[in-house]
Chain A
Amino acid sequence: MSPEPEDTRSERAGPELGRRGEEEDASTPQRDLAAAVAIAAFALGVMAFALALPNPGSLFTAPGLLPFLTGLTLFAMAVGLGVAAVRAGGARGLGGILSSGAPDSDAHPGRAWALIGLLVAMVVVIDAVPFEVRFRVAGRALEIGTFEVVSIPFLAVVLRLFWRASVLRCLLVAAVAVVGFAAAFRYGFNIPLPGSG
């Protein structure tokens, strides 16, 4: 590994460091413009629903008062963000919003979408599938519920996809982790798990 050039180091330690935000690097004018449009639409929706709320008392106690003001100011901020983005050249190259220009561009969109799909499916299936088996081991009542039965295969698939170990290893790690967490919650802290009592 070669030493870092002197000028890069001094830049990193420069005065701007104290003002860096946690997400600043992920921003591009194109992304800002797209976000501004979406947020402006969201803000208009917030205002419309706030205006439609019934008002049993005076204007000052109206349930939609702060939601409306929030929507209005959010809309103004979205316009501000959009204008700044256009001035910075955000209207050019809008097509590449999701694919480049940010430090997380080494994230593969396909892998990210696969992960999102798996996580959504896991949460939905835990809710949809009722399962509970009770048994006794050494005089102690134990149980296996929906959470374990669904989480283990889903977690194994996620591990296989990203960790890339053998199927058996992924299944083993997933089983040990899920059963361990479930046991800590159910028996260690007496907290019921989703999908079972």
Chain B
Amino acid sequence: MLWDQLLLALSPYLLVVCLAGTTLGILWGAMPGLSTTMAMALLIGLSTGMSQDVAIMFMLGVFTGSVFGGTITAVLINIPGTPDAVPTMIEGYPLARRGEGGLALGTAIGASFMGNWIGILLLIALIPVILRLALEFRSWEMFLLAMWGIAISGTMTAGKRPIKGWISGWIGLVFAFVGLEPIYGVPRYTFDVAILEDGISYVPVLIGLFGLAEILRVLPQRNPVGIPEKVGRVVPPISTLWKHARVAVRSGLIGTIIGAIPGAGANVASFLSYDIGRRRASPEERAKWGTGSYQAIVCSEAASNANIGGSMLPTLTLGIPGSAAAAAFLAALELKNVVVGPTLQIEHPGLIYFIYFALIIANFFMYGMAIVLVKPCVKLFSLPQALLMPLIVPICVLGAYAANLSYFDVYVMLGAGLVGYGLRRFGFPLAPMVLAVILGPLADENLRRALVVFEGKSWSAILIEHPIGTLLLGVVLYTFYDGIFRRRS
């Protein structure tokens, strides 16, 4: 089976698809304002017209490419193409101004390649363990896992104000309740509108929140992009990378772990790794941080790229997306009738191996294309956002419609975009909302099932009989405690 999947992944057509996806991803990520999640969200609609293998190859190519792409603008023109490239921007831009832009980018490319490898290897190592554990999960555990996912996503994306992340998640939960509820078929929050009885699909919500809301936020701003500077020779410096190999491994581990936490994306990983790296750096090295440190670039890039493999871990084993971009990948898989979760290996034998190979191939392509594309990307920077952003509007409409061939979904996308724009203006993160729209039905159904099973039992009996559930309950409560008390102090 492993061999068959390898041969399938290495078929010329799929290699071309993966190369195209990676190239598109790098170019997309390099353009300021166009994020990885936006790319992934917009691709869901397009993936409906692709076969399963092609869709997986293409989307993982775009995912891998776009996470790196943001680095190019961050280093050369001091504008992070994607949010996770901010630490790289802080370090890379001063280097570029000293004429070391090519070397900084080369270091970033090498660190990204290493980070991806760490994420993929940990994904391969940990998936069998998590899958075995996930089979032990019953309704109570699934409910708690879903609620923890929403809560931790809120904590991780809202910085010092976790309450804003939780509010965003809770609003998403309310949207998830719209429609016929699964046990009795009672309509909830449908207001006698028949089309609402089918509920709100999360695909148009995702496109609205990360596509349209971003256009509404960025387009009216007047922020001219500076003239790109000369790049120099972009070759990943082996000696620099070797010198920082230990840091790269540590950052890769951080990136993978953060990736495995639901909703926490590459931006959280790169910031956290950068912060930890600074604290652990030698005094001489620490003195360079903020003024152009190669070690800092390795910290940021290895973590943000390892996040890709990490985010696939809960996505594939539990059906709980590790990041907003992984949620888009999950949506694309669902449109292909692939139900991820504990039974993935049984219901879709070989698919996991195919995903491993797709990630590995995309990583190699990312490495090669990143070196090739740096200079063409500089030309792309001269295209104004005022030209690029409006062109995404038709893709939002087409993407939202294509998922279910329903124009109602286009209205949902529009509504989600307006809500998302409003929430962002008021400082609320959007990733927890998406996660809640996905996990809400799962939480609702499993809570009620669990309560029926628990009827007549004492709390102490429940806690003793369900050790995994008890552990998860503790984790959920700690997440709220941490958010309310520790972060405030």
Contact = CB atoms under 8 A, between A and B. Distances in A.
Nearest to A36: B167
A35 B424 CA distance: 11
Contacts of A27: 161, 164, 426-427
Given A21-B165, A155-B393, A63 B414 contact: no
Main secondary structure of the interface of B (DSSP, over half): helix
Contact of A21 (B158, B384, B405): B158
A112 B220 contact: yes
Nearest to A11: B290
Interface in B387-445: 387, 389-391, 393-395, 397-398, 401-402, 405, 407, 410-411, 414, 417-418, 421, 424-429, 431, 443-444
A64 B184 CA distance: 11
Interface string B188-228: 11000000000000000000000010011101111100000
A190 B49 contact: yes
B171 interface: yes
A58 B452 CA distance: 9
Contact of A22 (B87, B157, B220, B274): B157
Interface in B277-335: 278-279, 289-291, 296
A53 interface: yes
Interface string A91-111: 000000010001010111001
Contacts of A53: 186, 188
Interface stretch (B173-181, B235-243, B244-252): B173-181
B374 to A, nearest CB: 22
B170 A21 contact: no
B361 to A, nearest CB: 22
Q: Interface size class for chain B? A: 35 or more
Interface string A54-70: 10111011111111001
Contacts, number: 254
A116 B405 CA distance: 24
B4 interface: no
A84 B158 CA distance: 15
Interface string B63-101: 000000000000000000001000100100000000000
A106 to B, nearest CB: 5
A152 to B, nearest CB: 9
B34 to A, nearest CB: 15
Interface in A146-192: 147, 151, 155, 158-159, 162-165, 173, 177-178, 181-182, 184-185, 188-192
A66 B427 contact: no
Nearest to B447: A66
A35 B290 CA distance: 35
Contacts of B275: 15, 17-19
B256 to A, nearest CB: 17
Contact of B414 (A56, A58, A123, A192): A123
Nearest to B189: A49
Contacts of A21: 157-161, 164-165, 429
Interface string A4-41: 00000110110101111111111110011011000100
B357 to A, nearest CB: 24
B387 A191 contact: no
Contacts of A12: 90, 290
Interface residues of A, number: 88
24 contacts: A9-B90, A15-B275, A19-B271, A19-B487, A20-B159, A27-B161, A61-B183, A63-B188, A67-B188, A74-B171, A98-B425, A111-B219, A115-B219, A123-B414, A127-B410, A147-B397, A147-B398, A158-B390, A163-B386, A165-B387, A182-B398, A191-B402, A193-B398, A194-B410
Interface of B: 45-46, 48-50, 83, 87, 90, 157-161, 163-167, 170-171, 173-174, 177, 181, 183-184, 186, 188-189, 212, 215-217, 219-223, 267, 271-272, 274-276, 278-279, 289-291, 296, 384, 386-387, 389-391, 393-395, 397-398, 401-402, 405, 407, 410-411, 414, 417-418, 421, 424-429, 431, 443-444, 447-448, 451-452, 454-455, 487
Given A17-B275, A123-B410, 18 more contacts: A17-B274, A19-B487, A22-B267, A26-B425, A35-B428, A53-B188, A61-B184, A63-B181, A63-B184, A102-B427, A106-B221, A106-B223, A155-B393, A159-B387, A163-B390, A189-B50, A191-B402, A192-B405
